[in-house]
Amino acid sequence: MAVKNAAKEAVKEKYVSRDFKEYVRDVIPDKGLDETIAGLTPEKIEKTIKAVIGGRSSRIKAVMNTCIHCGLCAEACQWYLSNDKDPTYSPVAKMRMTIWEMIKRDGKVDAEFIKQCARIVFTECNICHRCSMYCPYGLDITFIIGMVRRICFLLGVIPQRQLDQAQAHIITQNQVWLSENDWLDAIQFIEEESGADYIDLRVPIDNEGAEVMFLPLGAEPKTGTYHIERTAKIMLVAGVNWTVPGKGTWDCSSMSMFVRDMVTMQRIVRGLYENAARLRIKTMMLTE
């Protein structure tokens, strides 16, 4: 038991902020956070923070100063509630321990502070918007958390899993590194596997003029083909004239949104609409 406790203590990290003197967590090592900060310099960090915040510091200060600490955002946050109402998990605490410190220090923070911020905004917040919805003043806390995520993204400090998905979207326009040939093979596999039970089942590819274009998550054709199969069965029974795009952008998940990669986000949305225009479809149906 003593050995186990010692091991547990070894992975605890204490962070210090001006508003919350002790921020202690059991930390799981992550290459995307722990190793990427090695190449950061104070100059690069300051330049990135100021580039993202830009002329928004007044807007951010307005949000922070308008907050009356009523606690409604905390009561709406699943992280706060599921961690015994630890105040360091409250949405306002996440703002104060990240972007508020960046503004007060005029961007002059070190690499360890950036790692702290990345852990907070990526692993202790789902940007679900519940805090903003429950705020009596309508303060957009999620927008501010998103700005911190963008700063961390531009500095390359992101949990490894999310970094991999973000890079996959940049290169392949889907989150699972699926090539166009793999995508088409998966669609044909679904038809073949379902053919014995549903003779007329089809997953139409590039059906120009279709009523509906279905856009799945990237993981579905790779590890969850049964999701697309079920959609095909519903379309068959309902008699819907539908299609999936055979080329270009088909993954609607946009993991780039979660790391605030604005350029790739725009490429994904533009690619989906370009496919809709190319096939002259009337309705885009996105999963989840």
pLDDT digits (tens, 9 = 90+) for 36-90: 999 999 999 999 999 999 887 788 888 888 988 888 999 999 999 999 999 999 9
Domain stops at, among 117, 132, 158: 158
Name the residue range of residue 97's domain: 2-158
Domain of 6, CATH number, reads: 1.10.1060
Considering the domain architecture, whether residues 185 and 258 belong to the same structural domain is answered as: yes
Please count the other Cβ atoms lying within 10 Å of the Cβ belonging to residue 218. 24
Query: Is the distance from CB of 281 to CB of 274 less than 8 angstroms?
Result: no
Residue 124 phi/psi, 5-degree rounding, is: -130, 20
pLDDT recorded at residue 248: 93
Query: Could you tell me the pLDDT band of residue 120, with boundaries at 50, 70 and 90?
Result: very high
What tokens were used for 206?
């590039």
Considering the domain architecture, whether residues 255 and 153 belong to the same structural domain is answered as: no
Range with the poorest average pLDDT among 8-17, 123-132, 190-199: 8-17
Query: Is the distance from CB of 249 to CB of 217 less than 8 angstroms?
Result: no
Please state, in angstroms and rounded to a whole number, the distance separating the CA atoms of residues 15 and 159: 18
Considering the domain architecture, whether residues 98 and 179 belong to the same structural domain is answered as: no
Please give the residue that has the higher pLDDT: either 133 or 12. 133
Considering the domain architecture, whether residues 10 and 72 belong to the same structural domain is answered as: yes
Considering the domain architecture, whether residues 100 and 223 belong to the same structural domain is answered as: no
What tokens were used for 140?
């957009």
Considering the domain architecture, whether residues 170 and 149 belong to the same structural domain is answered as: no
Considering the domain architecture, whether residues 36 and 89 belong to the same structural domain is answered as: yes
pLDDT recorded at residue 8: 43
What is the model's pTM?
0.83
Considering the domain architecture, whether residues 144 and 209 belong to the same structural domain is answered as: no
Cα angle value 93/72/59 (rounded, 5°): 55
Considering the domain architecture, whether residues 100 and 221 belong to the same structural domain is answered as: no
Considering the domain architecture, whether residues 65 and 123 belong to the same structural domain is answered as: yes
Q: State the SS3 of the chain.
A: CHHHHHHHHHCEEEECCCCCCCEEEECCCCHHHHCHHHHCCHHHHHHHHHHHHHHHHHHHHHHHHHCCCCCHHHHCCHHHHHCCCCHHHCHHHHHHCCHHHHHHCCCCCCHHHHHHHHHHHHHCCCCCCHHHHHCCCCCCHHHHHHHHHHHHHHCCCCCHHHHHHHHHHHHHCCCCCCCHHHHHHHHHHHHHHHCCCCCCCCCCECCCCCCEEEECCCHHHHHCHHHHHHHHHHHHHHCCCEEECCCCCCCCCCCHHHHCCHHHHHHHHHHHHHHHHHHCCCEEEECC
pLDDT recorded at residue 17: 55
Query: Is the distance from CB of 131 to CB of 94 less than 8 angstroms?
Result: no
Considering the domain architecture, whether residues 141 and 225 belong to the same structural domain is answered as: no
Domain stops at, among 158, 175, 209: 158
Considering the domain architecture, whether residues 199 and 139 belong to the same structural domain is answered as: no
Query: Is the distance from CB of 100 to CB of 57 less than 8 angstroms?
Result: no
Tally of CA atoms within 13 A in the half-sphere of 186 that contains its CB: 23
Domain stops at, among 142, 158, 174: 158
Inform me whether the pLDDT recorded for 171 exceeds 70.
yes
What tokens were used for 118?
């990345």
Give the chain's domain count: 2
